[in-house]
């Protein structure tokens, strides 16, 4: 029970990695407020799954890209649960194409959902964490943010931006015992990758030193560590959860 008594917000937890983070947090004793935007039915099912064994969780419709939505979300979470100890900025999208074909809209939406969301949510929880003089903020970046990727200029720029934001927040708020770290997942196998050509996916696995794709649980475990007091002397860092894909 590494997160006993902690209240956490996880953005984008109707599926994929966010859902697994929410599940792991509940298993470790946290109360979880999670968000979604286009999947109300999936969100309801996640809420039911998380609360089935006596856990406390609630889903909130909230667009992470919108400043006012983040403010309203935090107000609702404070009303429901009283405080916020952990924030996981997980909501993210891709809209891949070569730069030559990329529209301004494709750039703006990806940067807003992936990067501006971190600003929106972090600003919104700040007053509460400052008052408590404690808190852990975890931003989900990507190995693509560390090393770039052809066809993902918008996505990799947003994920690299998260790393700069994370380090700056850690430096600004360290003296108040608020920690801020990033996780950079590599190739994580989700329902989405199940639809891809198996030979292509196997080719990706073969290039990874640990010879397998990551699981959402692999990322969730790293989140539990960074959310918990086990990492109380860790801030401003990027934890690559990528099977050794990158070693820098
Ligand atoms: P996913 O399966 O596509 O799930 C994305 C989640 O974000 C969904 O719950 C979605 O909600 C939510 N979301 C999307 N836009 C949102 C918005 N504007 N406001 C609030 N919620 C929003 O993605 P994933 O693969 O689990 O990825 C999760 C995070 O890990 C992302 O930041 C991604 O960039 C990062 N990551 C993933 C991988 C990978 O291999 N999967 C690798 C590196 C990094 P709805 O269902 O309601 O739309």
pLDDT given for residue 16 in this prediction: 96
Q: Is pLDDT above 80 for 248?
A: no
User: Buried (b) or exposed (e) across 63-80, using 16+ Cβ within 10 A?
Assistant: bbbbeebbeebbeebbee
Q: Which atom, in ligand 1's list, is nearest to the CA of 91?
A: 7
Interatomic CA distance for residues 240 and 248, integer angstroms: 9
Q: Tell me: the pLDDT tens digits for 43-86?
A: 999 999 999 989 999 999 999 999 999 999 999 999 999 999 99
Closest Cα partner for 245 from 202, 209, 193?
A: 209
pLDDT score at 153: 98
Whole-number pLDDT of residue 11: 98
Q: Which helix (H) or strand (E) holds 46?
A: helix 40-51
Mean pLDDT of 235-241: 98
Distance CA 48, CA 80 (A): 17
Q: Where are the domains of the chain?
A: 7-241
Q: What pLDDT does residue 30 have?
A: 98
Pocket test for ligand 1, best of 9, 10, 13, 18 (most atoms within 8 A of CB): 18
34, 155, 165, 187: the catalytic one is 155
**Does residue 233 have an active-site annotation?**
no
Q: What is the pLDDT of residue 191?
A: 81
**192 confidence band (pLDDT: 50, 70, 90):** confident
User: What local confidence, expressed as pLDDT, does residue 193 receive?
Assistant: 83
As a whole number, mean pLDDT of residues 76-103 equals: 98
Q: Report the predicted TM-score, pTM, of the whole model to 2 decimal places.
A: 0.98
Sign of CA dihedral 142, 236, 65, 48: positive
Q: Whose CA is nearest to atom 11 of ligand 1?
A: 36
The CATH topology of domain 7-241 is: Rossmann fold (3.40.50)
Q: What's the gap in Å between 175 CA and the centre of ligand 1?
A: 31
242 CB near ligand 1 (under 6 Å): no
Task: Read off the pLDDT band of 6 (50, 70, 90).
Answer: very high
Q: Determine the 3-state secondary structure of 57 from DSSP.
A: strand
pLDDT at residue 22 in the model: 98
């Amino acid at each position: 029970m590494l997160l006993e008594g902690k209240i956490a917000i996880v953005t984008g937890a109707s599926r994929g990695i966010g859902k697994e983070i929410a599940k792991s947090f509940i298993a470790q004793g946290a109360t979880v407020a999670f968000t979604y935007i286009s999947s109300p039915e999936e969100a309801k099912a996640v809420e039911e799954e998380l609360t089935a064994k006596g856990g406390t969780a609630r889903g909130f419709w909230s667009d992470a890209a919108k400043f006012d939505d983040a403010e309203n979300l935090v107000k609702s979470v404070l009303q429901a649960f009283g405080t916020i100890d952990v924030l996981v900025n997980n909501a993210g999208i891709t809209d891949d194409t070569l730069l030559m074909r990329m529209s301004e809209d494709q750039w703006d939406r990806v940067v807003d959902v992936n990067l501006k969301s971190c600003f929106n949510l972090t600003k919104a929880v700040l007053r509460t964490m400052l008052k408590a003089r404690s808190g852990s903020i975890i931003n989900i970046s990507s190995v693509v943010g560390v090393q770039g990727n052809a066809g993902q200029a918008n996505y990799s720029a947003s994920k690299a931006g998260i790393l700069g934001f994370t380090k700056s927040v850690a430096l600004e708020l360290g003296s108040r015992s608020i920690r801020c770290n990033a996780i950079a997942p590599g190739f994580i196998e989700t329902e989405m990758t199940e639809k891809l050509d198996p030979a292509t996916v196997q080719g990706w696995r073969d290039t990874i030193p640990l010879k397998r794709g990551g699981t959402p649980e692999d990322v969730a475990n790293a989140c539990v560590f960074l959310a918990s007091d086990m990492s109380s002397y860790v801030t401003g860092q990027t934890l690559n959860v990528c099977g050794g894909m990158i070693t820098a």
